[in-house]
Structure 1
Amino acid sequence: MPTPSPTSAAGRRPNRRGETTRTHVLKVALQVLSSGRPDAVSVNLVARQAGVTWGTVQYQFGDADGLWAATLDHILATAGPTVWARPTAAAVPDRVAELIELVWAALGSNYYTARTNLQSNLAATRAELEAEYPRTATALDAVDEKLADQFEYFLSDLPVSPLAIQRVCAFVPTALRGLHAEHTFGFPIDVEAALVGLRDAVIAYLVPTATGPAEPQPVVVERDH
């Protein structure tokens, strides 16, 4: 089923020019949010960078909540293989290595940076976020649910205990986010060693101990240039 075209905040379906403007603003919003600027979470900044007026933003999205929610929807629609992917490996060790590489790459993408900036800068608590930016809170949940589904999807068909998969899906994404946050902040961390250790620990947990963990390919980490 084709995805329905978005409507403006005024409830009217935009013409081709309006759709072009809307898409342009969303692309700029993603770029601004992922830039690392201290003032990145700013509707006025997005409007200036996009070369549109506040009235245009208001017409297309209604308010800041509408813009940020639409930006998160844009991430879901456009992230593609950068974040969402299908497994190619069949063996448990190689599948785990593939998944960790995928998640690590996703954490370094503009999409995840934008999502993290929104969550950390819009409100101090979840309750405040839901009260002040209800549509954005819902859209954040949709992105996080997609990420969780992706992680479980990568492991669900493996010949291992479903309970073990459930537990791995619960702790490994959090561990990777924590490692990535500390690496991004500049702590002196041996990222390669940490990722290999996490990978081997997960493999040892999932693979029957009688056979022991196999030797998958090394985890690939893109170094900062």
Structure 2
Amino acid sequence: MTEAGIVGRRTNRRGLATRENMLEAALTSLASGDPGSVSANRIAKDAGATWGAVKYQFGDIDGFWAAVLHRTAERRAGLLSTPEHPDESLHRRVGRIIDTLYHGLSSADSRAIENLRAALPRDHDELERLYPRTAAELASWEKSWLETCQRAFADLDIAPDRVQGVATLIPGAMRGLVSERQLGSYADLDVARETLTKALVAYLSS
């Protein structure tokens, strides 16, 4: 192996390490919930780097935010891809999805996502114009989530439009329950989750 090859590989490893540090710094900063944390300059400083280094690794702020979001998607991959066992009941499958989202939406990654999304344009056309790669990453989540739900019920005789309806409803419903928990609701949220599970099972079974 030539010396040039060794140096090149070391440079690549250093570059990957720098990239990883920036992504982790971004997620840590964004998870604080501070609106001011949605700043590439601040995140670069937290990572001991510069904005120029961020641009070198990710191209621009759009590429950076897209990479941050993609990192969180990688961590979630496979959590709900298949039933725990072939005979798992419909009630158990729905309940497992609801419980996973209920607890997952309180994670540091979820807080980081919410903080970042709050700073991005709400209008899809504007988001796609200003942050095309970030918009594409977010759009891919919708497709992946639907596919996850389809796999969860694939061996059951359930109408596809029913699965799609449940996939559309659950994320928003769980964000509402998580918000209630964070606000210190007096409501019994365990009962709320079980009631939602029963309602969705009835809908999928009808």
**TM-score exceeds 0.5:** yes
Q: Report the TM-score when normalising by structure 2.
A: 0.82
Question: Do the aligned partners of residues 189 and 41 (structure 1) sit closer, same or farther apart at CA in structure 2, a change above 3 Å counting?
Answer: farther
Unaligned segments of structure 2, at least 5 residues: 1-10
Question: Do the aligned partners of residues 130 and 49 (structure 1) sit closer, same or farther apart at CA in structure 2, a change above 3 Å counting?
Answer: same
Counterpart of 2:131 (choices 102, 114, 133) is 133
Counterpart of 1:88 (choices 84, 89, 100) is 84
Report the Cα offset of residue 28 of structure 1.
1.2
Given that 1:183 and 1:191 are in contact with CA atoms closer than 8 Å, whether structure 2 keeps it comes out as yes
* 1:115-194 equivalences in 2 (<5 Å): 115-194=113-192
* 1:52-91 equivalences in 2 (<5 Å): 52-80=49-77, 83-89=79-85, 90-91=88-89
Which amino acid in the other structure matches residue 110 of structure 2? Y
Q: Report the TM-score when normalising by structure 1.
A: 0.76
Report the Cα offset of residue 73 of structure 1.
1.8
Aligned length: 194
User: SS at the partner of 1:36?
Assistant: coil
Report the Cα offset of residue 164 of structure 1.
2.9
Which amino acid in the other structure matches residue 166 of structure 1? Q
- Kindly provide the CA deviation profile for residues 88-110 of structure 1, in whole angstroms up to 9, marking residues without a partner as x: 15211111111211222222222
Higher percent of residues as helix? 2
1:103 aligns with 2:126: no
Distance 2:121 2:166 in 1: 30
What is the root-mean-square deviation in Å for CA atoms of aligned residues?
A: 2.2
1:39 aligns with 2:36: yes
Given that 1:97 and 1:199 are in contact with CA atoms closer than 8 Å, whether structure 2 keeps it comes out as yes
Which amino acid in the other structure matches residue 198 of structure 2? D
Q: Which runs of 4+ in 1 moved over 4 A?
A: 185-188
Residue of structure 1 equivalent to 2:5: none
Report the Cα offset of residue 138 of structure 1.
0.9
Given that 2:34 and 2:115 are in contact with CA atoms closer than 8 Å, whether structure 1 keeps it comes out as no
Question: Do the aligned partners of residues 55 and 164 (structure 1) sit closer, same or farther apart at CA in structure 2, a change above 3 Å counting?
Answer: closer
Distance 1:114 1:22 in 2: 18
Given that 1:164 and 1:205 are in contact with CA atoms closer than 8 Å, whether structure 2 keeps it comes out as yes
User: SS at the partner of 2:198?
Assistant: helix
Report the Cα offset of residue 79 of structure 1.
3.2
